Amino acid sequence: MTEAKPGWRELPFGAVPYKPSLEYHTGDWGVERPDFDLEKCTRCTLCHFYCPEGAIGFDAGYPEVDLRFCKGCGICANECPVEAIRMVRKG
Amino acid sequence: MREQRLLGLNGDEAAAYAIKQVNPDVVAAYPITPQTIIVERFSEYVADGLVDTEFVAVESEHSAMSCCIGAAAAGARAFTATAANGLALMWEMLYIAASLRLPIVMAVVNRALSAPINIHNDHSDSMGARDSGWIQIYCENSQEVYDACVEAWRIGEHLDVQLPVMVCLDGFTLSHTMENVQTLSDEAVREFVGERPYIKVQGHLGEAEFRLDPENPLTMGPLDLYDFYFEHKMHQVEAMEKALKAMPQVDEEYAELSGRGYQLLHPYEMEDAEVALIGLGSTMGTVRYVVDRLRRRGVKAGMMKMRVFRPFPAEQLIELLKDVEVVGVLDKAMSFGAPGGPLYEELRTIFYDAGRQPLIVDYVYGLGGRDTPPRLIEEAFEGLMEAKRRGEVVERLNFLGVRW
């Protein structure tokens, strides 16, 4: 609640958000983040598809997490078939 | 004025026929007595290729309204129809349709809510939905049903309004009673309703039409907590206020086309009325008949028919009723535990600080379709005249036509 928020007459109509979700960094809700063991990773991409936030992308075929949007839920670690993901404290 | 064709239609058929002429993109509905004829007739129009509508035979009313919300959010014109328990099952979606500002049109064929189960007419279903953010139009006869089902699109889609509209018609009394209905040509109706206009909003990639379009993405109604929800509710407050102005504009245009203008309120014999009844829906036809009879006997009786309950035309009502000595309210729904029926409460509220006010008496009547013949309306008028003689109201809340 630090920023000054627009009044009702300035807000877009129809409950359309006044800024896109890309500008709303939900990653700061989370306590943990995934830590990838690239030695074990088989590049199967399951973590990417299971991530409910779409926060896992790829760098040269290996997973990479966008911490601006990772809420630390641990679904990727749970689903990884080769146990290449470990959840660690953020920060 | 355009040429018209006289058809014999009951209220449900009048609704279905008007919607056929409007040719909406999507109709999603689930049949429920006494609304069933609307869905049956309309699915025949679909089967016969008379409309281009995508008809979705959903598995419940909750799905019907959800489907209309999805369609309207994508920019389509969407229609549904329901009654009583069906409307109750839609409940959460009603609020979502209104707060997402989707101009869906729905015919509500008014029927009593269970229990005990009852298929006949009262207004307990739509009166319960009065706070959901929908515009509510109440019809007196099949002609009004037809006209409202054409006009509703222009009202809901008006750029100052953008709200869903309920067209309420009394179950059986209107829905299953055949009457003469003047109908416009398909061309005249399509010309009148035109294409659905969209308001412009800021989407994720800049200015966009207010509809879900993959080419121009935007998000509708995501999480909105204590820091924004209240502001969005203010938009709805404003839209209802603007609807009070927009409705007469649309109506004027419709009157030019059809010769039938409706406005928000219909005063009858009110110029010098000392006692008057106010109410909604088909019963007002009976009241008009009784007013004529009383006038012949020299009683200065009048009637105020409300066509529109949401938005509530407060200022106009004060102006039209302030000089009447006693006003009786006909409420075809009861708010249990409340001081009176919904119309009574609102009428008394607007007069609290109006400076000059009539005595106001509530008559809850017709629950579960209990017959309301002229004799009962006369009984209500007698009560009003008694209050006028005494200069005070003895019983504020009365139940008309119940056995003691």
Is A20's Cβ below 8 Å from some Cβ in B? Answer: yes
- Lowest model confidence (mean pLDDT) among A17-26, B108-117, B123-132, B160-169: A17-26
pLDDT in tens, B51-67: 999 999 999 999 999 99
Calculate mean pLDDT across residues B254-282. Answer: 97
* CA B117 and chain centroid, separation: 23
> Is residue B267 reached through a cis peptide bond, with omega within 30 degrees of 0 on the bond before it?
no
pLDDT in tens, B352-384: 999 999 999 999 999 999 999 999 999 999 999
- Lowest model confidence (mean pLDDT) among B19-23, B217-221, B353-357: B217-221
For residue A4, the chain B residues in CB contact (below 8 A) are none
Domains B5-199+239-258 and B265-400 share a fold: yes
Gap from A23 CA to chain B (nearest CA, Å): 10
CA–CA distance, B210 with A27 (Å, rounded to integer): 29
Query: Which residue from B minimizes the CA distance to A16?
Result: B220
Is A7's Cβ below 8 Å from some Cβ in B? Answer: yes
Calculate mean pLDDT across residues A60-87. Answer: 96
Domains of chain A with CATH codes: 32-89 (3.30.70.20)
Cβ distance B201 to A12 less than 8 Å, yes or no, reads yes
Gap from B331 CA to chain A (nearest CA, Å): 33
For residue B199, the chain A residues in CB contact (below 8 A) are 13-14
For residue B221, the chain A residues in CB contact (below 8 A) are 14-15
CA–CA distance, B11 with B31 (Å, rounded to integer): 15
Cβ distance A14 to B202 less than 8 Å, yes or no, reads no
Calculate mean pLDDT across residues B302-308. Answer: 98
Q: Where are the domains of chain B?
A: 5-199+239-258, 265-400
pLDDT in tens, B29-88: 999 999 999 999 999 999 999 999 999 999 999 999 999 999 999 999 999 999 999 999
Q: Which fold has domain B5-199+239-258?
A: Rossmann fold (3.40.50)
CA neighbor of B142 nearest in space, from B119, B174, B112: B174
pLDDT of residue A2: 64
Q: What is the architecture, at CATH level 2, of domain B265-400?
A: 3-Layer(aba) Sandwich (3.40)
Is A13's Cβ below 8 Å from some Cβ in B? Answer: yes
Query: Could you tell me the pLDDT band of residue B223, with boundaries at 50, 70 and 90?
Result: confident
Best to test chain A binding among B157, B200, B204, B211 (most A CBs inside 10 Å): B204
Cβ distance B231 to A8 less than 8 Å, yes or no, reads yes
Mean pLDDT, chain B, integer: 97
For residue B230, the chain A residues in CB contact (below 8 A) are 8
- φ and ψ of B329, to 5 deg: -105, 130
Gap from B168 CA to chain A (nearest CA, Å): 25
CA neighbor of B21 nearest in space, from B172, B189, B177: B189
Is A15's Cβ below 8 Å from some Cβ in B? Answer: yes
pLDDT in tens, B100-152: 999 999 999 999 999 999 999 999 999 999 999 999 999 999 999 999 999 99
Does position A4 have pLDDT exceeding 80, yes or no?
yes
Gap from A27 CA to chain B (nearest CA, Å): 16
Does position A1 have pLDDT exceeding 60, yes or no?
no
Best to test chain A binding among B159, B210, B228, B233 (most A CBs inside 10 Å): B228
Query: Could you tell me the pLDDT band of residue A3, with boundaries at 50, 70 and 90?
Result: confident
Distances, alpha carbon B15 to alpha carbons B72, B144, B181, B353, B385, in Å: 20, 10, 11, 40, 39
Is A21's Cβ below 8 Å from some Cβ in B? Answer: yes
Is A60's Cβ below 8 Å from some Cβ in B? Answer: no
For residue A15, the chain B residues in CB contact (below 8 A) are 99-101, 220-222, 224, 232, 235
H/E run at residue B237: helix B229-258
pTM: predicted TM-score of the whole model, two decimal places: 0.92
